[in-house]
Amino acid sequence: MTRLSVNINKIATIRNARGGNIPDVLKAAIRCEESGAQGITVHPRPDERHIRYQDVRDIRPVIKTEFNIEGYPVKKFIDLVLEVKPDQVTLVPDPPDAITSNQGWDTIKNRQFLTEVVTEFQKNGIRTSLFVDSNPENIEGAALTGTNRVELYTEPYATMFPADRHKALAPFALAAKVARQAGLGLNAGHDLNLDNLRFFNDNIPGLAEVSIGHALISDALYFGLEKTIQLYLDQLK
């Protein structure tokens, strides 16, 4: 079964909009875990507009499931990851002013830089994943950095899914095949939801993990957090 990692950034966004500590991000992470999530994902950005660096430090010692930290590898981020030592770090090529992640790495152009960062994390026992699009060349380039996994950027799939799910899936099925042939573990994330997740999971062999935040936290407003996580887990069976 594909593992579900819940991205809790949106919970921090609500907290930060008002100030104080409501909702409590730490309690939310624990509740996600208790409700069946097999991982917790956070994506601290330099301006700390949602998840703060201190949130990352607070969450690490209390959760028992996999902890995944996403982000662009500036020095401050690298230092945080090396301090906290999560189970996995996902490197994302988003600039500081990006509203959300909106592209994968050009692993050919950035091969030397990524190789250095990946090597540093792996020396410290941290599994690495690179956020990539479905372009086979970028997946093959990711393998050359020594990374353990890639995370497929699935917004194009989600956008095309309502009109033609098979056409939407095709480039990702090819990307998954290329990743497996290159010896890479396979994650996926971005705009996966209760409408499109099952079809993606059923047709991407070897998918290890999906990271879902915005849609899942939004659905929790209607169904409640525990039930929502169960609904997403049901899509992955």
| Active-site residue set | 43, 70, 190
- How far is the C-alpha of 46 from the C-alpha of 76, rounded, in Å? 8
- How far is the C-alpha of 81 from the C-alpha of 68, rounded, in Å? 10
Exposure class string for 154-184: b at 16+ Cβ within 10 A, else e: bbbbbebbeeebeebbebbeebbbbbeebeb
CB 107 within 8 A of CB 141: yes
Find the angle CA(65)-CA(68)-CA(70) to the nearest 5 degrees.
165
Residue with tokens 């996966």: 192
The tokens of 213 are what? Answer: 């935040």
- How far is the C-alpha of 140 from the C-alpha of 101, rounded, in Å? 21
Handedness of CA 210, 227, 71, 92 (dihedral sign): positive
The tokens of 45 are what? Answer: 């950005």
CB 85 within 8 A of CB 124: yes
